[in-house]
Copies of this chain bind each other. A is one copy, B any other.
Protein backbone atom coordinates (compact mmCIF):
# COMPACT_ATOMS: atom_id res chain seq x y z
CA UNK A 1 0.00 0.00 0.00
CA UNK A 2 1.21 3.44 -0.83
CA UNK A 3 1.42 5.63 2.22
CA UNK A 4 -0.13 8.87 0.96
CA UNK A 5 2.33 10.92 3.00
CA UNK A 6 5.27 9.29 1.28
CA UNK A 7 6.43 10.89 -1.94
CA UNK A 8 8.45 9.31 -4.68
CA UNK A 9 11.66 11.10 -5.65
CA UNK A 10 13.28 11.02 -9.05
CA UNK A 11 16.79 12.10 -9.90
CA UNK A 12 18.09 12.15 -13.48
CA UNK A 13 21.65 10.84 -13.61
CA UNK A 14 23.10 12.64 -16.63
CA UNK A 15 25.98 11.10 -18.55
CA UNK A 16 27.12 12.42 -21.96
CA UNK A 17 25.07 10.66 -24.66
CA UNK A 18 23.43 8.28 -22.21
CA UNK A 19 24.15 5.45 -19.83
CA UNK A 20 24.25 2.61 -22.32
CA UNK A 21 27.92 2.25 -23.16
CA UNK A 22 27.12 2.26 -26.88
CA UNK A 23 24.65 5.15 -26.64
CA UNK A 24 26.87 7.49 -28.59
CA UNK A 25 26.82 5.10 -31.56
CA UNK A 26 23.01 4.96 -31.74
CA UNK A 27 21.63 6.52 -34.93
CA UNK A 28 19.24 8.76 -32.92
CA UNK A 29 22.19 10.31 -31.09
CA UNK A 30 24.42 13.12 -32.36
CA UNK A 31 27.49 12.21 -30.36
CA UNK A 32 29.29 15.55 -30.32
CA UNK A 33 26.22 17.29 -28.90
CA UNK A 34 27.42 15.93 -25.56
CA UNK A 35 30.40 18.26 -25.83
CA UNK A 36 28.15 21.34 -25.69
CA UNK A 37 26.46 23.18 -22.85
CA UNK A 38 23.26 23.32 -24.92
CA UNK A 39 22.93 19.52 -24.67
CA UNK A 40 22.94 19.60 -20.86
CA UNK A 41 20.67 22.64 -20.65
CA UNK A 42 18.18 20.80 -22.85
CA UNK A 43 18.36 17.77 -20.54
CA UNK A 44 17.98 19.90 -17.40
CA UNK A 45 14.93 21.63 -18.85
CA UNK A 46 13.41 18.27 -19.77
CA UNK A 47 13.94 17.05 -16.20
CA UNK A 48 12.30 20.24 -14.96
CA UNK A 49 9.38 19.78 -17.36
CA UNK A 50 8.94 16.33 -15.79
CA UNK A 51 9.01 17.88 -12.28
CA UNK A 52 11.97 15.69 -11.34
CA UNK A 53 13.71 16.45 -8.07
CA UNK A 54 17.20 16.86 -9.46
CA UNK A 55 19.84 16.14 -12.04
CA UNK A 56 23.17 14.63 -11.11
CA UNK A 57 26.65 14.33 -12.63
CA UNK A 58 29.20 11.69 -11.62
CA UNK A 59 32.86 12.61 -11.69
CA UNK A 60 36.40 11.54 -11.22
CA UNK A 61 39.77 13.19 -11.53
CA UNK A 62 41.40 11.12 -14.25
CA UNK A 63 40.71 10.36 -17.87
CA UNK A 64 39.02 6.95 -18.18
CA UNK A 65 41.33 4.28 -19.57
CA UNK A 66 39.13 3.38 -22.50
CA UNK A 67 38.37 6.75 -24.00
CA UNK A 68 39.24 5.30 -27.41
CA UNK A 69 35.93 3.47 -27.39
CA UNK A 70 33.65 5.68 -25.40
CA UNK A 71 32.87 9.28 -24.62
CA UNK A 72 34.00 10.97 -21.46
CA UNK A 73 32.90 13.84 -19.27
CA UNK A 74 32.92 17.01 -21.31
CA UNK A 75 32.72 19.40 -18.37
CA UNK A 76 33.62 19.65 -14.70
CA UNK A 77 30.34 19.19 -12.77
CA UNK A 78 30.33 22.25 -10.48
CA UNK A 79 31.02 24.65 -13.35
CA UNK A 80 28.51 22.86 -15.57
CA UNK A 81 25.79 22.96 -12.92
CA UNK A 82 26.55 26.64 -12.25
CA UNK A 83 25.86 27.33 -15.91
CA UNK A 84 22.68 25.25 -15.80
CA UNK A 85 21.59 27.10 -12.63
CA UNK A 86 21.39 30.32 -14.63
CA UNK A 87 18.87 28.94 -17.13
CA UNK A 88 16.64 26.76 -14.93
CA UNK A 89 14.24 27.56 -12.11
CA UNK A 90 13.38 24.46 -10.10
CA UNK A 91 15.54 21.44 -10.79
CA UNK A 92 18.02 20.37 -8.10
CA UNK A 93 21.68 20.34 -9.15
CA UNK A 94 23.87 17.58 -7.70
CA UNK A 95 27.61 17.57 -8.40
CA UNK A 96 30.06 14.86 -7.45
CA UNK A 97 33.24 15.99 -5.72
CA UNK A 98 36.00 14.14 -3.90
CA UNK A 99 36.90 14.56 -0.23
CA UNK A 100 40.25 12.89 -0.90
CA UNK A 101 41.62 15.40 -3.41
CA UNK A 102 39.94 18.69 -2.53
CA UNK A 103 40.52 21.24 0.22
CA UNK A 104 37.47 21.69 2.48
CA UNK A 105 37.63 25.49 2.44
CA UNK A 106 37.65 25.66 -1.35
CA UNK A 107 35.03 23.00 -1.92
CA UNK A 108 32.67 24.20 0.83
CA UNK A 109 32.86 27.62 -0.76
CA UNK A 110 32.21 26.33 -4.29
CA UNK A 111 29.10 24.48 -3.12
CA UNK A 112 27.91 27.50 -1.13
CA UNK A 113 28.38 29.56 -4.27
CA UNK A 114 26.41 27.08 -6.38
CA UNK A 115 23.68 27.05 -3.75
CA UNK A 116 23.39 30.83 -3.86
CA UNK A 117 23.59 30.98 -7.66
CA UNK A 118 20.73 28.49 -7.87
CA UNK A 119 18.77 29.98 -4.96
CA UNK A 120 18.97 26.77 -2.94
CA UNK A 121 19.26 23.93 -5.43
CA UNK A 122 22.77 22.59 -4.82
CA UNK A 123 23.59 19.03 -3.83
CA UNK A 124 26.94 17.36 -3.26
CA UNK A 125 27.54 13.72 -4.07
CA UNK A 126 30.43 12.96 -1.74
CA UNK A 127 33.00 10.49 -3.10
CA UNK A 128 36.27 9.29 -1.63
CA UNK A 129 37.92 8.48 -5.00
CA UNK A 130 38.91 4.83 -5.19
CA UNK A 131 40.93 5.07 -8.41
CA UNK A 132 44.73 4.97 -8.51
CA UNK A 133 44.83 7.11 -11.65
CA UNK A 134 43.28 10.00 -9.75
CA UNK A 135 45.98 9.97 -7.06
CA UNK A 136 48.67 10.24 -9.72
CA UNK A 137 47.17 13.46 -11.03
CA UNK A 138 47.41 15.15 -7.64
CA UNK A 139 50.93 14.49 -6.42
CA UNK A 140 50.46 11.05 -4.92
CA UNK A 141 52.09 7.80 -5.98
CA UNK A 142 49.07 5.91 -4.67
CA UNK A 143 45.63 6.73 -3.40
CA UNK A 144 45.30 6.72 0.38
CA UNK A 145 43.89 3.43 1.68
CA UNK A 146 40.19 2.82 2.19
CA UNK A 147 40.08 3.53 5.94
CA UNK A 148 42.17 6.68 5.53
CA UNK A 149 39.93 7.96 2.79
CA UNK A 150 36.83 7.52 4.94
CA UNK A 151 38.50 9.07 7.99
CA UNK A 152 39.45 12.05 5.85
CA UNK A 153 35.93 12.20 4.42
CA UNK A 154 34.38 12.32 7.89
CA UNK A 155 36.69 15.11 8.99
CA UNK A 156 36.17 16.91 5.67
CA UNK A 157 32.43 16.93 6.30
CA UNK A 158 32.90 18.21 9.82
CA UNK A 159 34.96 21.09 8.47
CA UNK A 160 32.64 21.85 5.56
CA UNK A 161 29.60 21.82 7.81
CA UNK A 162 31.26 24.08 10.35
CA UNK A 163 32.27 26.47 7.54
CA UNK A 164 28.72 26.66 6.18
CA UNK A 165 27.56 27.30 9.74
CA UNK A 166 30.25 29.92 10.37
CA UNK A 167 27.72 32.56 9.34
CA UNK A 168 24.34 32.84 11.03
CA UNK A 169 21.55 33.08 8.47
CA UNK A 170 20.95 36.72 9.30
CA UNK A 171 24.56 37.91 9.44
CA UNK A 172 24.27 40.36 6.53
CA UNK A 173 22.36 43.44 7.71
CA UNK A 174 23.29 45.95 4.94
CA UNK A 175 22.16 48.97 6.94
CA UNK A 176 22.99 51.84 4.59
CA UNK A 177 22.24 54.63 7.03
CA UNK A 178 24.34 53.18 9.85
CA UNK A 179 27.03 51.95 7.48
CA UNK A 180 26.93 48.44 8.93
CA UNK A 181 27.25 45.69 6.31
CA UNK A 182 27.39 42.61 8.53
CA UNK A 183 26.78 41.64 12.13
CA UNK A 184 30.23 40.35 12.95
CA UNK A 185 28.97 38.69 16.12
CA UNK A 186 27.03 36.36 13.82
CA UNK A 187 30.18 35.32 11.92
CA UNK A 188 32.65 33.05 13.72
CA UNK A 189 35.94 31.40 12.98
CA UNK A 190 35.86 27.61 13.27
CA UNK A 191 39.46 27.04 14.42
CA UNK A 192 39.47 23.43 13.28
CA UNK A 193 42.64 21.56 14.23
CA UNK A 194 42.29 17.96 13.13
CA UNK A 195 44.15 14.95 11.84
CA UNK A 196 43.80 15.91 8.20
CA UNK A 197 42.89 19.59 8.21
CA UNK A 198 43.65 22.83 10.00
CA UNK A 199 41.13 25.46 9.00
CA UNK A 200 40.51 28.74 10.76
CA UNK A 201 37.53 30.14 8.87
CA UNK A 202 35.08 31.76 8.73
CA UNK A 203 34.00 30.96 5.19
CA UNK A 204 34.18 33.94 2.81
CA UNK A 205 30.63 33.51 1.58
CA UNK A 206 27.49 33.73 3.64
CA UNK A 207 25.51 30.67 4.74
CA UNK A 208 23.98 28.67 1.86
CA UNK A 209 20.30 29.18 1.08
CA UNK A 210 19.70 25.57 2.15
CA UNK A 211 21.88 25.89 5.23
CA UNK A 212 23.98 23.09 3.79
CA UNK A 213 23.76 21.77 0.25
CA UNK A 214 21.97 18.44 0.08
CA UNK A 215 24.49 15.72 0.99
CA UNK A 216 24.43 12.64 -1.23
CA UNK A 217 26.57 9.53 -1.10
CA UNK A 218 26.90 6.24 -2.94
CA UNK A 219 29.37 4.03 -1.09
CA UNK A 220 28.22 0.50 -0.31
CA UNK A 221 31.11 -0.81 1.77
CA UNK A 222 30.76 -1.04 5.55
CA UNK A 223 32.66 2.22 5.91
CA UNK A 224 30.59 3.74 3.13
CA UNK A 225 27.31 2.75 4.75
CA UNK A 226 28.41 4.06 8.15
CA UNK A 227 29.53 7.31 6.53
CA UNK A 228 26.17 7.59 4.78
CA UNK A 229 24.28 6.86 8.00
CA UNK A 230 26.20 9.62 9.77
CA UNK A 231 26.22 12.18 6.98
CA UNK A 232 24.17 11.55 3.86
CA UNK A 233 20.62 12.65 3.12
CA UNK A 234 20.26 10.68 -0.11
CA UNK A 235 22.08 7.54 -1.23
CA UNK A 236 22.47 6.28 -4.78
CA UNK A 237 22.85 2.53 -4.98
CA UNK A 238 23.12 -0.22 -7.62
CA UNK A 239 20.69 -3.08 -6.93
CA UNK A 240 19.72 -5.84 -9.34
CA UNK A 241 16.93 -7.56 -7.39
CA UNK A 242 14.07 -6.46 -5.16
CA UNK A 243 15.37 -8.68 -2.37
CA UNK A 244 18.86 -7.22 -2.46
CA UNK A 245 17.43 -3.73 -2.63
CA UNK A 246 15.16 -4.40 0.36
CA UNK A 247 18.08 -5.76 2.36
CA UNK A 248 20.20 -2.72 1.52
CA UNK A 249 17.34 -0.38 2.37
CA UNK A 250 16.73 -2.04 5.75
CA UNK A 251 20.44 -2.15 6.49
CA UNK A 252 21.03 1.51 5.78
CA UNK A 253 17.88 2.80 7.47
CA UNK A 254 18.73 0.65 10.48
CA UNK A 255 22.04 2.39 10.95
CA UNK A 256 20.58 5.88 11.26
CA UNK A 257 19.45 5.52 14.86
CA UNK A 258 23.06 5.07 15.89
CA UNK A 259 23.68 8.65 14.82
CA UNK A 260 20.53 10.12 16.39
CA UNK A 261 18.79 10.22 13.03
CA UNK A 262 15.41 8.93 11.84
CA UNK A 263 14.76 6.62 8.86
CA UNK A 264 13.12 9.47 6.93
CA UNK A 265 16.25 11.63 7.25
CA UNK A 266 17.92 9.64 4.47
CA UNK A 267 16.43 8.71 1.09
CA UNK A 268 17.53 5.53 -0.71
CA UNK A 269 17.56 5.89 -4.50
CA UNK A 270 18.48 2.75 -6.48
CA UNK A 271 19.57 3.18 -10.07
CA UNK A 272 17.21 2.25 -12.91
CA UNK A 273 17.94 2.45 -16.60
CA UNK A 274 14.55 2.44 -18.33
CA UNK A 275 14.42 1.21 -21.93
CA UNK A 276 10.98 2.42 -22.97
CA UNK A 277 8.84 1.21 -25.87
CA UNK A 278 5.20 1.76 -26.79
CA UNK A 279 4.98 -2.02 -26.67
CA UNK A 280 7.07 -4.52 -24.78
CA UNK A 281 8.43 -5.74 -28.11
CA UNK A 282 9.46 -2.25 -29.11
CA UNK A 283 11.32 -1.89 -25.81
CA UNK A 284 13.09 -5.21 -26.32
CA UNK A 285 14.00 -4.27 -29.88
CA UNK A 286 15.43 -1.00 -28.67
CA UNK A 287 17.51 -2.76 -26.04
CA UNK A 288 18.73 -5.28 -28.63
CA UNK A 289 19.60 -2.47 -31.04
CA UNK A 290 21.73 -0.77 -28.39
CA UNK A 291 23.36 -4.06 -27.43
CA UNK A 292 24.20 -4.74 -31.07
CA UNK A 293 26.40 -1.63 -30.97
CA UNK A 294 28.48 -2.89 -28.04
CA UNK A 295 32.18 -3.26 -28.68
CA UNK A 296 33.15 -6.41 -26.73
CA UNK A 297 36.75 -5.20 -26.51
CA UNK A 298 35.51 -2.16 -24.59
CA UNK A 299 33.11 -4.23 -22.53
CA UNK A 300 35.87 -6.62 -21.47
CA UNK A 301 38.12 -3.71 -20.52
CA UNK A 302 35.31 -2.24 -18.41
CA UNK A 303 34.57 -5.62 -16.83
CA UNK A 304 38.28 -6.11 -16.08
CA UNK A 305 38.36 -2.75 -14.33
CA UNK A 306 35.14 -3.47 -12.40
CA UNK A 307 36.47 -6.82 -11.15
CA UNK A 308 40.12 -5.68 -10.94
CA UNK A 309 41.11 -8.77 -12.94
CA UNK A 310 42.47 -8.99 -16.50
CA UNK A 311 39.61 -10.54 -18.49
CA UNK A 312 40.45 -8.98 -21.84
CA UNK A 313 41.11 -12.38 -23.47
CA UNK A 314 38.34 -14.54 -21.97
CA UNK A 315 36.05 -16.39 -24.43
CA UNK A 316 32.81 -14.47 -24.94
CA UNK A 317 30.48 -17.46 -25.25
CA UNK A 318 31.49 -19.29 -22.10
CA UNK A 319 30.60 -18.60 -18.48
CA UNK A 320 32.57 -16.03 -16.51
CA UNK A 321 35.69 -17.80 -15.20
CA UNK A 322 36.40 -17.90 -11.48
CA UNK A 323 37.63 -14.53 -10.29
CA UNK A 324 38.77 -13.25 -6.90
CA UNK A 325 38.21 -9.69 -5.69
CA UNK A 326 41.24 -7.45 -6.28
CA UNK A 327 42.54 -4.71 -4.09
CA UNK A 328 41.75 -1.78 -6.38
CA UNK A 329 38.08 -1.90 -6.62
CA UNK A 330 34.71 -1.67 -5.29
CA UNK A 331 33.80 -4.79 -3.31
CA UNK A 332 30.03 -4.27 -3.48
CA UNK A 333 30.12 -3.80 -7.26
CA UNK A 334 32.29 -6.95 -7.53
CA UNK A 335 29.73 -8.95 -5.56
CA UNK A 336 26.89 -7.56 -7.63
CA UNK A 337 28.49 -8.38 -11.00
CA UNK A 338 29.71 -11.86 -10.09
CA UNK A 339 26.39 -12.55 -8.35
CA UNK A 340 24.48 -11.56 -11.48
CA UNK A 341 26.61 -13.78 -13.71
CA UNK A 342 26.24 -16.80 -11.42
CA UNK A 343 22.56 -16.33 -10.51
CA UNK A 344 21.48 -16.12 -14.12
CA UNK A 345 24.20 -18.45 -15.44
CA UNK A 346 25.27 -15.86 -18.02
CA UNK A 347 27.92 -16.23 -20.69
CA UNK A 348 30.48 -13.45 -20.74
CA UNK A 349 28.77 -11.97 -23.83
CA UNK A 350 25.40 -11.88 -22.08
CA UNK A 351 27.00 -10.45 -18.95
CA UNK A 352 28.57 -7.67 -21.02
CA UNK A 353 25.11 -6.91 -22.44
CA UNK A 354 23.61 -6.82 -18.98
CA UNK A 355 26.32 -4.44 -17.79
CA UNK A 356 26.35 -2.27 -20.90
CA UNK A 357 23.10 -0.57 -19.95
CA UNK A 358 24.06 0.65 -16.51
CA UNK A 359 27.46 -0.67 -15.38
CA UNK A 360 25.74 -2.88 -12.81
CA UNK A 361 22.64 -0.77 -12.26
CA UNK A 362 19.31 -2.36 -13.09
CA UNK A 363 18.06 -2.10 -16.68
CA UNK A 364 14.29 -2.41 -17.15
CA UNK A 365 12.91 -2.69 -20.67
CA UNK A 366 9.14 -2.32 -21.10
CA UNK A 367 6.16 -0.14 -21.71
CA UNK A 368 5.66 3.04 -19.66
CA UNK A 369 3.11 1.15 -17.53
CA UNK A 370 5.52 -1.72 -16.92
CA UNK A 371 8.30 0.63 -15.90
CA UNK A 372 5.93 2.53 -13.63
CA UNK A 373 4.90 -0.82 -12.13
CA UNK A 374 8.51 -1.65 -11.29
CA UNK A 375 9.06 1.78 -9.77
CA UNK A 376 5.87 1.53 -7.72
CA UNK A 377 6.68 -1.98 -6.54
CA UNK A 378 10.13 -1.10 -5.24
CA UNK A 379 8.80 2.13 -3.74
CA UNK A 380 5.95 0.46 -1.89
CA UNK A 381 7.78 -2.74 -0.94
CA UNK A 382 10.53 -1.23 1.14
CA UNK A 383 13.28 -1.12 -1.47
CA UNK A 384 13.38 2.55 -2.49
CA UNK A 385 12.33 6.08 -1.61
CA UNK A 386 12.78 7.01 -5.23
CA UNK A 387 15.08 6.32 -8.15
CA UNK A 388 18.25 7.43 -9.76
CA UNK A 389 17.03 7.40 -13.36
CA UNK A 390 19.75 6.56 -15.88
CA UNK A 391 18.46 7.16 -19.42
CA UNK A 392 20.08 4.75 -21.88
CA UNK A 393 20.40 7.49 -24.51
CA UNK A 394 20.36 11.26 -24.08
CA UNK A 395 18.42 13.33 -24.64
CA UNK A 396 15.93 10.88 -26.25
CA UNK A 397 15.39 8.40 -23.41
CA UNK A 398 14.89 11.16 -20.85
CA UNK A 399 12.28 12.75 -23.11
CA UNK A 400 10.56 9.37 -23.23
CA UNK A 401 10.73 8.93 -19.47
CA UNK A 402 9.33 12.41 -18.82
CA UNK A 403 6.66 12.24 -21.51
CA UNK A 404 5.57 8.61 -21.02
CA UNK A 405 6.49 7.26 -17.57
CA UNK A 406 6.17 10.36 -15.36
CA UNK A 407 2.49 10.92 -16.35
CA UNK A 408 1.70 7.34 -15.29
CA UNK A 409 3.37 7.92 -11.91
CA UNK A 410 1.48 11.19 -11.57
CA UNK A 411 -1.85 9.56 -12.40
CA UNK A 412 -1.17 6.98 -9.71
CA UNK A 413 -0.62 9.76 -7.19
CA UNK A 414 2.98 8.71 -6.66
CA UNK A 415 4.70 11.75 -8.10
CA UNK A 416 4.24 15.52 -7.93
CA UNK A 417 2.47 17.33 -10.77
CA UNK A 418 3.93 20.72 -9.83
CA UNK A 419 6.87 21.80 -7.73
CA UNK A 420 5.57 22.84 -4.33
CA UNK A 421 8.92 23.85 -2.87
CA UNK A 422 11.72 26.12 -4.02
CA UNK A 423 14.87 24.32 -2.90
CA UNK A 424 16.34 20.90 -3.52
CA UNK A 425 15.82 20.08 0.17
CA UNK A 426 12.17 21.00 -0.18
CA UNK A 427 11.84 18.77 -3.26
CA UNK A 428 13.31 15.89 -1.26
CA UNK A 429 11.23 16.67 1.83
CA UNK A 430 14.31 17.16 3.97
CA UNK A 431 14.72 19.72 6.74
CA UNK A 432 16.90 22.78 6.40
CA UNK A 433 19.69 22.39 8.99
CA UNK A 434 19.92 25.07 11.63
CA UNK A 435 23.28 26.46 12.66
CA UNK A 436 24.09 23.64 15.00
CA UNK A 437 26.90 24.28 17.30
CA UNK A 438 27.61 27.91 18.12
CA UNK A 439 31.05 26.96 19.41
CA UNK A 440 29.77 26.11 22.90
CA UNK A 441 33.23 25.24 24.19
CA UNK A 442 34.22 28.79 23.52
CA UNK A 443 31.15 30.23 25.12
CA UNK A 444 31.69 28.11 28.21
CA UNK A 445 35.24 29.34 28.43
CA UNK A 446 34.15 32.98 28.27
Q: What is A's interface to B at a CB cutoff of 8 Å?
A: 22, 24-25, 27, 29, 31-32, 35, 37, 41, 60-64, 67-76, 78-80, 82-87, 101-103, 105-106, 109-110, 112-114, 116-117, 133, 136-141, 172, 174, 176, 179-184, 187, 197-206, 293, 295, 298
Contacts and interface: CB of A to CB of B under 8 A. Distances in A.
B138 A204 contact: no
A31 B174 contact: yes
Give the interface centre of A72, A179, A201 by most chain B CB atoms within 10 Å. A179
Given A25-B176, A25-B179, A205 B74 contact: yes
Given A32-B174, A181-B69, A181-B70, A61 B138 contact: no
Contacts of A60: 204
A68 B180 contact: yes
21 contacts: A31-B181, A37-B116, A63-B201, A67-B184, A67-B187, A68-B182, A72-B181, A72-B204, A73-B204, A73-B205, A75-B116, A75-B205, A76-B113, A78-B82, A79-B114, A80-B82, A84-B86, A103-B138, A105-B137, A136-B199, A137-B200
A62 B103 contact: no
B116 A69 contact: no
A82 B138 CA distance: 24
A78 B75 contact: no
A139 B197 contact: yes
B83 A139 contact: no
B204 A61 contact: yes
Nearest to A140: B198
Nearest to A137: B105
A109 B101 CA distance: 14
Given A31-B176, A70-B181, A137 B80 contact: no
Contacts of A187: 63, 67
A203 to B, nearest CB: 7
A113 B79 contact: yes
A141 B80 CA distance: 34
Nearest to A64: B204
Give the interface centre of A41, A76, A133 by most chain B CB atoms within 10 Å. A76
Given A67-B184, A68-B182, A80-B82, A24 B201 contact: no
A74 B116 contact: yes
Contacts of A197: 139
Which 6 A-B pairs give the minimum distances between C-beta atoms? Answer: A82-B82, A76-B113, A83-B86, A136-B200, A79-B82, A86-B86
Contacts of A86: 37, 41, 83-84, 86-87
Contacts of A79: 78-79, 82, 110, 113-114, 117
Given A87-B87, A105-B138, A205-B73, A295 B200 contact: no
Contacts of A32: 172, 174
Given A67-B182, A68-B182, A181-B68, A75 B202 contact: no
A141 B176 CA distance: 36
Contacts of A82: 78-80, 82-83
A120 to B, nearest CB: 12
A80 B181 contact: no
A291 to B, nearest CB: 13
Contact of A106 (B24, B102, B112): B102
B295 A117 contact: no
A91 to B, nearest CB: 14
B106 A61 contact: yes
A268 to B, nearest CB: 29
A71 B137 CA distance: 37
A393 to B, nearest CB: 12
A355 B25 CA distance: 61
A76 B181 contact: no
